Amino acid sequence: MKNQIYLYDVRALSELLSTFIRQYVTVENYSWLEEKAALVASENNAAQLNLSFAAISRKTGRADTRLNADQKKQVSVILPGFSVDGWPLHRLCRTWILLQVNPGDQDNYCNKIGGLFKNAEMNELADLYAALPVFAYPGMWVNRCAEGIRSNIGIVLEAIMYDNPYPAEFLDEASWNQLVLKAFFTDKDVNRIIGLDNRANPKLASTLIDYAHERWAAKRQVNNQLWRLVAKFIDATNFPAIQKIAASEDLTTRKAAALTCSQSEYAPARNLLDKVPDLRNDIIENKLNWLNLNS
């Protein structure tokens, strides 16, 4: 199934993105985009794709786009988890151009898109990674996604990590764990990682606890969001770490400990939560959760 051409209605998404683009570009520039899209759709080689993809930022500028609630919903209905809200205009336009590439021949299609990755400059590369969810033959891009996670370019990492449903759906456990670890190592906003909680796993939890101990030994702070990925896997071996954060002088860290214990089936963790009834009640009433932990 994951190697079928598209897992969503590509025509509907293309039409929707084109309506967003028209809100931000001049009539002249939209005509240019339409002309290039037609050439990209009809060509057998990648000449027009390469030329138009590189030229888009000069034509459209770098303004950010914003969607209203209804527009966001329209996108999510077509491709669940996918979001283009806040994208720079050049990313939106490049993604639309990518949707015009003829997917009829799998090898030809993958070679065209792969060529863009090989020759992209930094912003182009970030735009390609952000567009992973829309590519045809989605299962073919797993290695490319894993390669991107190894990047040290901030905007590339954010394009893969933020509001991008592709990694959670297609990466194997090892690559997924690498993505999450890289997010913590580089201080990314892990709340924007799609599927973060659903793909929690024991190996990741163990590695994160080791990471926390390393940070403590170096007298450095630990990102409190780390503990949400440990919660389901608390046991006798790692419970002392939970006790440590529960006894912290920092209120936010104690809140994180309470949230962690609330998601655990380990009896000592549940008993620890009972010792802070105010925080326990806030969690029950959803006044305290991982999204508002720092507020």
The pLDDT tens digits of the residues spanning 157-208 come to: 999 999 999 999 999 999 999 999 999 999 999 999 999 999 999 999 999 9
Tell which residue, 214, 199, 264, has the closest CA to residue 236.
Answer: 264
The pLDDT tens digits for 71-106 are: 999 999 999 999 999 999 999 999 999 999 999 999
Residue numbers of the domain that contains 204: 200-295
The predicted structure's pLDDT at residue 60: 85
50 CB-contact burial (10 Å; exposed 0-12 / middle 13-18 / buried 19+): middle
The pLDDT tens digits for 249-264 are: 999 999 999 999 999 9
Write down which residue in 150, 175, 199 finishes a domain. 199
The predicted structure's pLDDT at residue 1: 33
44 and 178 fall within a common domain: yes
How many domains are contained in the chain? 2
65 and 161 fall within a common domain: yes
* Distance between CA atoms of residues 275 and 295, nearest Å: 23
The predicted structure's pLDDT at residue 30: 95
177 and 283 fall within a common domain: no
User: Does pLDDT of 3 surpass 60?
Assistant: no
Write down which residue in 199, 234, 251 finishes a domain. 199
193 and 248 fall within a common domain: no
* Distance between CA atoms of residues 66 and 70, nearest Å: 12
Instruction: Report the range of poorest mean pLDDT among 63-67, 121-125, 134-138, 165-169.
Output: 63-67
195 and 222 fall within a common domain: no
Query: Residue 135 in contact with residue 10, Cβ under 8 Å?
Result: no
Write down which residue in 199, 229, 250 finishes a domain. 199
How many other C-beta atoms can be found within 10 angstroms of the C-beta atom of residue 23?
11
The predicted structure's pLDDT at residue 111: 97
262 and 287 fall within a common domain: yes
pLDDT tier at 63, thresholds 50, 70, 90: confident
The predicted structure's pLDDT at residue 114: 97
* Distance between CA atoms of residues 282 and 135, nearest Å: 42
Q: Mean of the per-residue pLDDT values for the chain? A: 96
The predicted structure's pLDDT at residue 295: 81
182 and 233 fall within a common domain: no
Query: Residue 103 in contact with residue 109, Cβ under 8 Å?
Result: yes
**Whole-prediction pTM:** 0.93
